[in-house]
Chain A
Amino acid sequence: MDLLPLNFAAAFIDSHGTSVFSAFSTPGKEINGLAYFVLAISAGVFLVVSVLLIHVITRYRSRPGDNSEPPQVFGSLQVELAWTIIPILIVVVIFLSTARVLFSVQDAPKPPDALDVVVTGHQYWWEFQYPQYGVVTANELHLPLSTAASPRATYMKLTSADVIHSFWVPALTGKTDLIPNRVNEMWVDPQATGLFLGQCTQFCGPEHAKMLLRVYVDTPEQFQQWIAAQQKTQAELNTSASVVTVAAATTTTSDQDAKLGQADFEREACMACHNVSGTMAFGRLGPDLTHLMSRETLGAGIIPNNAQNLKAWIVNPDTFKVGTLMPAMHLSDKENTEITAYLLTLK
């Protein structure tokens, strides 16, 4: 398969990795502190038991030739009480520590200036809506940076259009499931800019492994610019006067292809599943394509977004992601080229 994303890593900026210990947010940090505490206690218990076990199997080996039985001891009230009471105390301590973090994260009061994001899971892509701005996008989530000087939390509502999914970006915070017919909530305040990687973490069907997440944490200025760009609508290229009146010298082949491509897009079934704001395409079954070229990847994070991959995807999505719900439409090569040219204009 020569369209495998083998040079994928080279094409992308470095991310913050996917270690659960990275914790670039308040909930992430609180969870981490708790995790280190529990790890330390567990390590202590492990050490005590291991030392006891090793001591016992070395010190109390039976010597060769010795067939006598050792003294039979049936129990000891003090010792047994000790190893009942001490574990109960340890449980109380780690439970109370856990409860503190649990309530602090899960029941944190929502600040009035929080960003709202609605996440809807689909087989096998992510729909992101910013209701405060009227923005709908897919697969690549942009969040504003939160600093001590200017904190800005993002509060997410999570649901699903089909089966259960789960939103997990380990370097940011813990995961929450996206359950159909139910709205779950989580919040995060990203404290470093850059790219954070994640993926769906609840088995959702054959391409569960290919439902990747890319979270871009922008500075507040970059975020506002991104929102403004996403709010713009596209235009109907093929109904504009330029098709009829402008001289051939000022239009390129790809411009003509783009106009024909939009007509193809709207005539074939594409518009039934995909939305391009400002045009006739208003489908909501597949990802919103209004600003497709503002995204770095296709197919929910699995391949770089370039002309070659885009055309190959349109020809047959199964090339990259067998089991994807977008069918191969069996269009002619001319139409595929034109539609690709059109989509490339959706910046």
Chain B
Amino acid sequence: MGGQSISIGHTIDGHPESRGARSGLLAIFESWIFTVDHKKLGIFYILYGVVFLVVAGIQALLMRIQLFYPYNTFVSPYTFNRLFTMHGTAMVFFVGMPLIFGFANYLVPLMIGARDMAFPRLNAFSFWISAFAGPLLYSSYFAGTGPDAIGSAPDVGWFAYAPLTEHAFSPGHAMDYWTISLLLSGIGSIGAAINILATVFCMRCKGMTLLKIPLLPWVYASSAFIVLVAVSPLTACQAMLMIDRYLGGHFFDTAAGGSAILWAHFFWIFGHPEVYVLILPIFGFASEIIPVFSRKAIFGYPAMVAASVCIAFIGLGVWAHHMFTMGMTSYSNAYFTLATMLVGVPTGIKVFNWLATMWGGKIRFELPMMFSIAFLFQFVVAGLTGIMLSVSAWDWQLHNSYFVVAHFHYVLVGAFVFMTFAALYYWYPKITGRMLNNRIGLWHFWLLLIGFHLTFDTMHIPGLLGMPRNIFTYEADRGWTLMNQIMTVGGFIQAIAVLLFAVNMVYSYFYGKEAGPDPWDAWTLEWSTSSPPPSYNFAVDPEVFSRRPLWDLKHPEDSDSAFE
């Protein structure tokens, strides 16, 4: 091993294709719209997710204005109910899923030394079909005519419980836009998941056994496995709902003997694993970023792999903790309590491993690390409120209150969004060749942190004081008013932070500092090629001997390959 000079990822020329001579707007348009290149598709997914983050975020702000004081008439109950339905649906399917698939597409081939994903055309198809779903759903605002408004979006909550969604209670086509757009999004997710699994299992470069791949491809494989199992129940219940609404079926039509609780089972068999689909890649980002900025290898790699796989499997068996108040038997409630608590064990292992990675390190407080530290703290809090909710008897009080809303926003904003920003600051230089501006970034970080805690720390309290969710207004004598006002102020602060980030993304693309191939002094294969990489990724197929190929190159006297 010693003395061998291994050139990894040399590019043939110094001019990456995307910065080459412009050959006309039409050629650029074609090269992007018809691309099957995982990097371009990854960028599309990420930009798509950021756009819908802003759209659904504005919808959240409108709700927070309405809830600023009791009996407010900023929006009608109909509009408000559409707002929370669209906000939730968009955030899960048009922000969360695209963002994780975007990073998967961009990073997985690069990290395993491959030239592209296993199925590039399936990749393009998956992107375009799920991208179509977003505008389709939002077009319901104009096209989903119902008897109570001119054009209407769905207003049944993102979980769309039956029989409220049956034709008797949801006339018009709002529900159908919801159903069909989610069917399309599901097809795209399945295609992406197939691609990720095939790529990770079949396209690794020479020397890269499964136990030498970075943790990010591992969590993506787990996440993709969940998608393959969990999206089918959603597709099935969407089909059953359409049959009820148009073909005379009565699956969920309780007036004709159907079962409302059946919908809840189908939906949550999808819905709970879905949140593990979203959060596992976030764990992957943390496992890449925290080591680099602590200057230490990830602590306990095999345990991290085992924990990811455990979370995937256990997470498929906990869904009815969303249904503790629906009257299942005490034995069912007890099982789902236990399973949900158990999933906290591998999750806790991950948190401790990240802490142990930082322990004894030399921590550099760059923006990716700052967002990661906020993620760590916030994810622990979110996990603990999750444990509280898994206590089924206490969930009888907390279910469907603002305590639940606080919990899942703590995970989705405090963990998912914060860590996604960490990933964006970390990999933006690789994708564009330029660093994001640090000063704007610091404003972004601190404003987001302050706004997040103002809103979501406070939000737990109205829940404990009896405030239910999905309400367009509330009674003045409940004592919830002041806290709602604080939550609204925090929302606007977060909005400014996100706006600053959007400005930073555009500004730095043109004026950011040149990044070079490896601005962070990192260790995985994507940092061995140019920024941005050429279309073929690596001129010479890499060969690796450990989990940190670039560490081995930079520290031949202390290479990982001597220990693994």
Bound together:
yes
Chain A interface residues (CB < 8 Å from chain B): 1, 4-6, 8-9, 12, 15, 17-21, 30-31, 34-35, 38-39, 42, 45-46, 49-50, 52-53, 56-57, 60-63, 66, 68-76, 79-80, 83-84, 87-88, 91, 94-95, 98-99, 101-103, 105-107, 123, 162-164, 166, 168, 170-171, 173-177, 179-182, 184-185, 197-209, 212, 322-323
Stretch of B44-52, B108-116, B180-188, B466-474 lying at the A interface: B466-474
Q: Which residues of A contact B164 (CB under 8 A)?
A: 163-164, 203-205
A96 to chain B, nearest CB (A): 10
Tell me the bound Cα distance from A177 to B400 in angstroms: 11
Assuming A70-B295, A99-B337, A182-B260, is B327 touching A176 (CB within 8 A)? yes
A326 to chain B, nearest CB (A): 15
Q: Which partner residue on chain A sits nearest B159 by CB separation?
A: A203
Asked if B561 is at the interface (CB within 8 A of a chain A CB), the reply is: no
A42 to chain B, nearest CB (A): 4
Q: Which residues of A contact B560 (CB under 8 A)?
A: 72
B18 to chain A, nearest CB (A): 32
Name 8 interchain pairs, CB-CB below 8 A, sorted by A. A18-B465, A38-B387, A57-B373, A91-B344, A102-B392, A173-B396, A174-B396, A207-B77
Question: By CB atoms of chain B within 10 A, which of A63, A74, A84 has the most?
Answer: A74
Q: Which residues of B contact A166 (CB under 8 A)?
A: 325, 400
Q: Which partner residue on chain B sits nearest A204 by CB separation?
A: B164
Q: Is the CB of A179 within 8 A of B400?
A: no
Assuming A87-B345, A166-B325, is B555 touching A206 (CB within 8 A)? no
Q: In the complex, which of the residues B148, B258, B261, B349 contacts A80, with contact meaning CB atoms closer than 8 Å?
A: B349
Q: Which residues of A contact B364 (CB under 8 A)?
A: 62
Assuming A66-B362, A94-B387, A174-B325, is B349 touching A168 (CB within 8 A)? no
Stretch of B280-288, B351-359, B419-427 lying at the A interface: B351-359
Q: Is the CB of B377 within 8 A of A162?
A: no
Q: Mark B64-89, 1 if CB is under 8 A from A, else 0.
A: 00000001010011100100000000
Q: In the complex, which of the residues B302, B349, B373 contacts A53, with contact meaning CB atoms closer than 8 Å?
A: B373
Asked if B483 is at the interface (CB within 8 A of a chain A CB), the reply is: no
Tell me the bound Cα distance from A200 to B398 in angstroms: 13
Assuming A163-B163, A203-B157, is B359 touching A56 (CB within 8 A)? yes
Chain B interface residues (CB < 8 Å from chain A): 71, 73, 76-78, 81, 148, 155-157, 161, 163-164, 169, 254-255, 257-261, 294-297, 299-303, 325-327, 330, 333-334, 337-338, 341-342, 344-345, 348-349, 351-353, 355-356, 358-365, 373, 376-377, 380-381, 384-385, 387-388, 391-401, 464-479, 555, 558, 560, 563
Q: Which residues of A contact B258 (CB under 8 A)?
A: 181
Q: Is the CB of A181 within 8 A of B394?
A: no
Tell me the bound Cα distance from A56 to B303 in angstroms: 21
Tell me the bound Cα distance from A212 to B467 in angstroms: 12
Tell me the bound Cα distance from A46 to B465 in angstroms: 23
Tell me the bound Cα distance from A99 to B364 in angstroms: 46
Q: Which residues of A contact B359 (CB under 8 A)?
A: 56, 60
Tell me the bound Cα distance from A5 to B475 in angstroms: 10
Assuming A34-B391, A70-B295, A203-B161, is B327 touching A162 (CB within 8 A)? no
Q: Which partner residue on chain A sits nearest B166 by CB separation?
A: A163
Assuming A35-B394, A209-B77, is B476 touching A8 (CB within 8 A)? yes
Beyond A46-B384, A84-B349, A206-B81, 18 additional pairs, beta carbon < 8 A:
A8-B476, A31-B396, A46-B380, A70-B362, A72-B296, A73-B360, A75-B302, A76-B299, A102-B330, A107-B330, A164-B161, A174-B393, A174-B394, A174-B399, A182-B327, A185-B327, A197-B478, A203-B156
A10 to chain B, nearest CB (A): 10
Q: Is the CB of B388 within 8 A of A202?
A: no
Q: Is the CB of A98 within 8 A of B392?
A: yes
